[in-house]
Each structure stands twice: as structure tokens, then as C-alpha cells.
Homo-oligomer: A and B are copies of this chain.
Amino acid sequence: MSTVRVVCQQLAPRLGETEHNRNLGARAINDAAMLGAQVVVLPELMQSGYVFKDRQEAFELSEALDGPTLSLWKSLAAELDIIIVGGFCERLDDGQVANSAALVEPEGRLTVYRKAHLWNREKLIFTPGTAPPPVVQTAVGRIAMVICYDLELPEWVRLPALAGAELLCAPVNWPDAPRPASERPGEIVRVQANAAVNRMFIAACDRHGEERGIDWVGGSVIVDADGYPQAGGNAHRHEQRLVADLPLAQARDKYISAHNHVHQDRRPGLYLPSP
């Protein structure tokens, strides 16, 4: 079965240093292409940094879809024949901003997803998305995006899976928090579960580099359709590059036993909470 090379580049964007972040991202995209990556995933809000004081600060650092970061990603995708997924602070109308992810294809198509489930103070800053993750038929397979806390809502991850996504790319900024010393971070565990119950590959790209007192799990991971890590999967608070060759077509077969299909076994008529 043919495989698709997917790379996660766990980097340290700097809050407000958009030019630095653009250069850092470009270097990472080039490095991934040198390794033969067909898909490269960058962290959430790679373009701007994360820990904004308020909406005004985020707005000043945001860019529109024809802004310099997305324009650069488009050029690099075409030049290097690589699919780029990364997070950016999207400028909306009326001073609003979204926590968005872009999927940029070599042919020039740009697909944007806006985070629908906002984490903590993001609720004071970003306008949440209202559209489910689009599933993009790319040259290498069907790819969708979600962002960070979206992964904690299994109903949300289900949607692109039901719509045929083979690879879910998730730019994340996982804030670090206490956990038992011997345990894999729970954020990674939830990625594993999301993958397995949908038989879908997931590439989650975290960040490192403290911002305004907040540090990060550094938990980038690429999991297969059974939910087991193929790369990463531990907390690593430094730069890291994950490389995995994924047989994406496996995600089209949802059977896990002679009689069990992970999607057809759903009984949605029973899943309505009692009022």
C-alpha cells in the first residue's frame, strides 16, 4: 500500500514577531520538503503567537487571507510541491479575529477552518467558527483540519471522519498542566482515541517556547488509524520534527471485525440526550 509522508514541525513562534514567525515557518516547510514530506503541519497560531492580552492585540497581529504569511505558504507549496497546514490569526470584519488554520495545496487552492471550540481566554478574543471542518480531496488523500481544544469534543472530530477524511491535521498549542509523572499527556491520549474510534490518521502539531508565563506540553504526535503513535507521543518541550509514512487508504476501511464498522455501528437515533 502506498504511503504519504507527513511531517509535524514543533516550533516556538514568538508572540507578536510575525516576521520571525514567517521565517521560522518557511525554514520548517523547506526542511520538511527536503525530507520528502508531502504534508507538513505547523502549530496553532504559528503566524502570530498565542498569549494575546486582548482582542485588540490579536487584531493588530492578525492577517487576512491575502496577507504575507498565507501568501508565502502559497508560494512555498507551489515551489516545493507540498501541502502546508498551519495556524494563523485571521483578520475578520469589524475588528474581529478568528483562530484559524489554513490548508494550502501546491495548485494554489487555500482552505480555511475556524476553530469552533475556544479554550479559556480565547473566548474573550476570538470569534468562534460555525462551520464543520471541511474535508479536502488533495492529491495525496482526503485531509481535514481541527484546532487544539476541538479535539476534546469527540462529536466534532466525528464530522470530518464521517465526511471521509483520511488524515486529520490538528495545529495545537497545548498549555502544560500537572499530570501523573508516569503517564502520557492526556491530550495525546484523546488524539489516540479520536483516531481509533474513527479509523482515521491524525497529525497533531504542538509548539514549545514559553509565552507570558504559559508553557506547553510539547506533545506533537502522529497516530495511525488504530490510534497508536507512529511518531512522537511524549511530552518534549523543545523543537522536534516528527516524520511518518502513513498508508492513508487504510482509513477508507472502517471494519474492525467481520461484523463491525466503526461508523455504521453508530445508532444516531439513540444519541439524543433526554430533555
Taking a contact as CB atoms closer than 8 A, the residue among B130, B186, B259, B270 that contacts A123 in the complex is B259
State whether A196 touches B192 (Cβ < 8 A).
no
State whether B197 touches A156 (Cβ < 8 A).
no
Taking the complex as formed, is A69 at the interface, i.e. its CB lies under 8 A from any CB of chain B?
A: no
- The distance in angstroms between the C-alpha atoms of A132 and B275, with both chains bound, is 13
Q: Which of A14-22, A84-92, A261-269 contacts B (4 or more CB under 8 A)?
A: A261-269
Taking the complex as formed, is A72 at the interface, i.e. its CB lies under 8 A from any CB of chain B?
A: no
Taking the complex as formed, is A64 at the interface, i.e. its CB lies under 8 A from any CB of chain B?
A: no
State whether A197 touches B190 (Cβ < 8 A).
yes
- The distance in angstroms between the C-alpha atoms of A124 and B130, with both chains bound, is 42
Taking the complex as formed, is A2 at the interface, i.e. its CB lies under 8 A from any CB of chain B?
A: no
Q: Please give the number of chain A residues whose Cβ is less than 8 angstroms from any Cβ of chain B in the complex.
A: 50
State whether B130 touches A270 (Cβ < 8 A).
yes
Q: Which residues of B contact A197 (CB under 8 A)?
A: 152-154, 190
Q: What 1/0 mask marks residues of chain A from 162 to 185 whose CB sits below 8 Å from any chain B CB?
A: 110000000000000001100110
Given the known interface contacts A155-B268, A186-B228, the answer about A120 and B260 at a Cβ–Cβ threshold of 8 Å is: yes
Residues of A80-124 contacting chain B, CB below 8 A: 116-124
12 further interface pairs, Cβ-Cβ under 8 Å (given A121-B258, A152-B265, A158-B273): A117-B265, A119-B260, A120-B259, A132-B274, A152-B262, A156-B271, A162-B273, A186-B196, A190-B193, A190-B197, A193-B194, A268-B273
What is A's interface to B at a CB cutoff of 8 Å?
A: 116-124, 130, 132, 149, 152-156, 158-159, 162-163, 179-180, 183-184, 186, 189-190, 192-194, 196-197, 226-229, 257-260, 262, 265-268, 270-271, 273-274
